[in-house]
Amino acid sequence: MSTNPQATIIVSCSCGTKLRVSAASVGKKAKCPKCQAVVTIYAPKSPPPTPSPSPPAAGGSDLLGDLAQYEQQSASVPPLPAAAACSNCGAPIAANARVCTACGFDLKKGRLLTTAASSESVAKEKAVALAKSAGTFLLGSILSLVGALLGGGVWFLVAWYLNAEVGYVAWGIGLVAGVGMMIGCKEPSMKAGVVAAAMSAVGILAAKAAIFFAVIYIVVTGNSNNIDAQRGFVTVQMAEEILDEKGVTDDAQRDKQWEATYAEAEGRVEKMTDEQVRQKWTEYREAIKQAKAEQPPGEPEVGGGGAIFKAFVATQFSLFDLLWFFLALGTAYKIGSRGPQKEE
């Protein structure tokens, strides 16, 4: 490094004395005149760069000026338009927007923007949903009918072996019919409940008809070669004969005395042998045929269809039978519809 021989530099001694020496003496040694210590002469270091002015302290006048300038600039910027909500889906949109990008609703025309392709796809989706709904409803109706008929079959067997109708079995028919509809039909509705109730009614009426014609009808008409059925027929006819012998002709009085008279006739028949029962059965059958033959024209036939229907209604639909019947229908409707539903 070349130096100017006339230039001088300042060297500091360890004692604090400052020595002015020639710049050409860099690298040499000199003796301090004060403490006589030997001092090595080094080139002076470069001065540090001048620091940039620091920002004004907080709370200073410059900061207040900057804030005022910023507020003036902010006031000159126009505000953004206020946001609004789509009237169709509620999504946020710009205040001056015409179409909602979330749902495609035209705010000016007040309707959804759809294309022919989207309309066709919507129609197809509706058709598929309708087909599925019809399929599940048909399946539910079938399962409901099968359940009602199975329940009616159980009721018939119970009546056959116990020789008595058990009312709560009819309620069970309504329960099974409702469950069948609930399993098959995936969409609960009032229509599903009504059909389930109708199916339970079919099952109950079918069971009652089977019970009547398999048990009561045989006893009333005697159309059976079974000795037990013949004993029942003979008992009924003998009870009617006893009332005739007592001179009881009024229907209300006959109904009032029927239980006691039937018990009396039943006691007599129990003492008879099977051969005596068959002989009595034949006599009563012949008497019924003779009564039919002697019946004047135009009068209802003895033991005809009208009499059988009346016997069916009288024996199968007492007050308690009707109570169980409507309870079964209500249960089927409740389960089939799965509670109160809106009308379709």
The whole-number pLDDT of residue 325 equals 87
- Does the structure show a pLDDT above 90 at 137? no
Number of domains present in the structure of the chain? 2
**Average pLDDT of 2-13?**
68
**Whether 188 and 330 share a structural domain:** yes
pLDDT at 74: 55
* Per-residue pLDDT at 116 exceeds 70: no
pLDDT at 130: 58
Would you place residue 143 in the very low, low, confident or very high pLDDT band (cuts 50, 70, 90)?
very high
Quick one: average pLDDT of 63-79? 56
d(CA 197, CA 144): 9
Q: Which of 42-46, 61-65, 252-256, 279-283 has the highest mean pLDDT?
A: 279-283
The answer to whether residue 60 is domain-embedded is: no
Name the amino acid, one letter, at 202. Answer: V
Length of the chain in terms of residues written: 344
* 135 pLDDT tier (thresholds 50, 70, 90): low
Q: What is the pLDDT of residue 272?
A: 93
Predicted local distance difference test score (pLDDT) of residue 300: 52
Look up the domain containing 36 and give its range: 8-40
Is the pLDDT assigned to residue 9 strictly greater than 60? yes
Question: What local confidence, expressed as pLDDT, does residue 146 receive?
Answer: 94
161, pLDDT greater than 50: yes
52 lies in a domain? Answer: no
Residue 313, CA distances (Å) to 15, 35, 89, 250, 328 in order: 140, 146, 61, 21, 18
H helix runs in 104-166, sequence order: 116-162
Q: Is residue 45 part of a domain?
A: no
Q: Is residue 31 included in any domain, yes or no?
A: yes
- Residue 188's pLDDT band, with cuts at 50, 70 and 90, is confident
Residue range 123-137: average pLDDT?
Answer: 64
- Residue 280, domain member (yes or no): yes
The answer to whether residue 220 sits within a structural domain is yes
pLDDT of 249 above 70: yes
Query: What pLDDT is recorded for position 53?
Result: 52
The rounded percent of the chain whose pLDDT value lies above 90 is: 17
**36 and 143 in a common domain:** no
Residue 126 domain flag = no
3-state DSSP assignment of residue 2: coil
264 located within any domain: yes
pTM above 0.85, yes or no: no
Cβ-proximal residues to 185 (8 Å cutoff; 6+ apart), any chain: 136, 137, 139, 140, 141, 192, 336
Lowest mean pLDDT among 59-73, 210-224, 264-278, 304-318: 59-73
Ordered DSSP codes for 163-230: SS--HHHHHHHHHHHHHHHHHH-SS--HHHHHHHHHHHHHHHHHHHHHHIIIIIHHHHH-----HHHH
| Span between the terminal Cα atoms of the chain, in Å | 105
According to the model, what pLDDT value does residue 59 have?
46
